[in-house]
Structure 1
Amino acid sequence: MRIESYRFGEIIIDGKRYTSDVLILPDRVLSWWRKQGHAVTVADLAEAVAARPEMIILGTGAYGVVRVAPEVEKFLAAKGIQLIVAPTGEACQKYNVFAGKHRVVAGLHLTC
């Protein structure tokens, strides 16, 4: 998977355009809904963790509005999964760098 472009409210992954939040797994892209829209909890990452990644990259929106609960980092560390949290533009860049070298999952908030 490769992110071709990202702008507020839109991302293009492998030629396909998405306009809602996405979870990029090693073999597919899913819509990503969280229990609380602007927060990421352990429960929101169940599918991501099931993909057995080495790394999870979370895009917190164009302006970094999404917050990651403190227990998320502890939970992932206990499973040996590295966590990177960044505004979505930066998260997309990091995904493209790491995806060719590691088993990576990305959860990306496309708007605020």
Structure 2
Amino acid sequence: MSAFIESYSFGNIVIKGNSYNSDVKIINGEVKPNWWRKEGHRLYPEDITDILESDCKVLVVGTGAYGVMKIDPTVEAACQEKGLKLEAYKTSEAVKRFNELMASGEKVAGAFHLTC
């Protein structure tokens, strides 16, 4: 079985044969392109409302090639409240982790910042 996310490089991610040049979310295997946040380099609960409302059990966040995007503590609290396990990595590592979880059949969501 091929990886769900085929590749990632600064500013580009290839998912199931489609190339994206802006941040993306993936919820239950569905790609949500052109993901914008309230603040570009900070993640808040309102930026991931659709993930919080999903039945996913794990959220993998890609914080950018250099880990510049910070996760506000309110996101951790919101995930805990929903029983959603939060994992955050630089985006290249987040892609690997997301693919591992998808391959194992886990109900996983991803939120990937593609640049800094």
TM-score category of the 2 structures, normalised to the smaller one: over 0.9
Confirm or deny that 1:111 pairs with 2:107.
Answer: no
> Which amino acid in 2 is paired with 1:36?
E
Matches within 5 A, 1:1-112: 2-31=4-33, 32-100=35-103, 101-112=105-116
> Which amino acid in 2 is paired with 1:106?
G
Distance 2:26 2:92 in 1: 15
- After TM superposition, the score normalised by the length of structure 1 is 0.95
4+ residue runs of structure 1 moved beyond 3 angstroms? Answer: none
1:18-52 per-position Cα deviation (integer Å, ceiling 9, x unaligned)? 00000011141112110100000011110112222
Distance 1:110 1:27 in 2: 18
Q: How many equivalent pairs are there?
A: 112
> Which amino acid in 2 is paired with 1:35?
K
Unaligned runs of 5+ in 1: none
Q: Tell me the SS of whatever aligns to 1:64.
A: coil
Unaligned runs of 5+ in 2: none
